[in-house]
Structure 1
Amino acid sequence: MTSEHAAVVHGRAVPRQAVDALLESVPARDRETTRPESLARAERQRRRWATQVVVADELARRACAERGLALPPEVSPTRLLAVAETDVADLGSIVAAALAHSPAARVLLAELEAEQDVPETAVRDYYERNPDRFLTPDALRRGVDPFGRPTPADFLPYGQVSGSVAAELRRAAGTRAFFAWFDRARADVEYAAGHEHPGDPAHPDHEHRH
């Protein structure tokens, strides 16, 4: 692996230029209010984080090719789309950014979601265990306590919401499958110095960040 590479994915070199291009699209920390030593550490971690995002795109493109999945025309992105704070909270910054950055990652996630089998018993169980999510608009206006003494009329019928519940559970299962795939797929990736995973304890600046 030469200094021009950020990582090697199953024998394929990931160029540093791809990481640099992504970093250019991600705002850096405020340089005026951050101490120089803290800024330097943040920039090192930013590069490691961006490497993970670029590696995720490479791995996702390989996975899509192996599965015979068609990709959009743009399969070598160089910029990061907006990432919602809720996505970062739910997915972690690396996976959230990878899905915003990589069309291949989004195609793979959609495929994994479609593969998930959500049994009707799981849908019914979710409906019964989360009554606060299924109050009618009128019950909400009246401030009905779903765990107090509500009446059946205070809740949306199961048949009316079962489809959306099943879709939500399928999305959640697909996301878990994506996490599991990513962890397996990047296990054999080789990183150049300065491009290791941000949480790799082998480098002094490591931090736990997904």
Structure 2
Amino acid sequence: MTDQLARRACEERGLAPPADVSPAAMLTVPETDIADLGSIIAAALAHSPAARALLADLERDQDIPETAVQDYYTRNRDRFLTPEALRRGVDPFAPTEPSDILPYDHVREGIAHELRHAAARRAFFNWLDEARAGVEYAEGYEHPGDPTHQDHEHRH
């Protein structure tokens, strides 16, 4: 169902998802991403070229303000310790030497990319929630994890 909804969304956006859905074309979703995405979305992204095309388009749509990137850098100093500082066991939340933290200019693009990626995933989750709102499942074909189904904890 998610693939069909994504195909419609791609068509509405003028996107042409790859047509090849052979097993060789399937994407492997890293386990850490499955935990972040949830199994339904991870499966959709692994098996649906249309879902991947839609997610990529949503990522291009995300505008991350410079203030958000700077704020992330300031709040997450532990992620930007230099290798030398890590070896010395520097506490990033205590006073540090300027040379212990990677300069903002060196990490800015990576931070912006991560924030854009996270924003795209949130946009994809929102899109899927809205797209599924109008779907009526035939009796017996409800997904066991769909909380709108009265027996959403049943197992197949």
**TM (normalized to structure 1)?**
0.68
- Per the alignment, do residues 62 and 203 of structure 1 end up closer, same or farther by CA in structure 2, a change over 3 Å counting? same
Within 5 Å, which residues of 2 pair with 1:46-125? 55-74=1-20, 77=21, 81-125=27-71
Q: For each residue in 1:43-78, what CA deviation from the matched residue of structure 2 results, as whole angstroms up to 9, or x when unmatched?
A: xxxxxxxxxxxx11000000001111122132xx37
Find the counterpart in structure 2 of residue 139 from structure 1: 85
Structure 2 CA distance for aligned equivalents of residues 139 and 172 of structure 1? 28
Say yes or no: does 1:200 pair with 2:143: no
- Per the alignment, do residues 111 and 202 of structure 1 end up closer, same or farther by CA in structure 2, a change over 3 Å counting? closer
Contact persistence 2:19–2:49 (CA under 8 A): no
- Per the alignment, do residues 89 and 147 of structure 1 end up closer, same or farther by CA in structure 2, a change over 3 Å counting? same
Percent of pairs identical after alignment?
Answer: 66
TM-superposed CA distance for 1:190, in Å, is 1.4
- Per the alignment, do residues 63 and 202 of structure 1 end up closer, same or farther by CA in structure 2, a change over 3 Å counting? closer
Partner AA of 1:177 in structure 2: A
Say yes or no: does 1:150 pair with 2:96: yes
Structure 2 CA distance for aligned equivalents of residues 121 and 202 of structure 1? 42
- Per the alignment, do residues 115 and 147 of structure 1 end up closer, same or farther by CA in structure 2, a change over 3 Å counting? same
Structure with bigger helix share is 2
- Per the alignment, do residues 202 and 162 of structure 1 end up closer, same or farther by CA in structure 2, a change over 3 Å counting? closer
Structure with bigger strand share is 1
- Per the alignment, do residues 98 and 169 of structure 1 end up closer, same or farther by CA in structure 2, a change over 3 Å counting? same
Of structures 1 and 2, the one scoring higher in RCO (CA 8 A, sep 6+) is 1
Q: Once superposed, what is the RMSD of the aligned Cα atoms?
A: 1.7
The structure with the larger Rg is 1
TM-superposed CA distance for 1:82, in Å, is 3.2
Partner AA of 1:154 in structure 2: D
Say yes or no: does 1:130 pair with 2:76: yes
Find the counterpart in structure 2 of residue 45 from structure 1: none
Unaligned runs of 5+ residues in structure 1 are 1-54
Q: For each residue in 1:6-63, what CA deviation from the matched residue of structure 2 results, as whole angstroms up to 9, or x when unmatched?
A: xxxxxxxxxxxxxxxxxxxxxxxxxxxxxxxxxxxxxxxxxxxxxxxxx110000000
Partner AA of 2:139 in structure 1: A
Unaligned runs of 5+ residues in structure 2 are none
Structure 2 CA distance for aligned equivalents of residues 175 and 83 of structure 1? 14
TM-superposed CA distance for 1:168, in Å, is 0.6
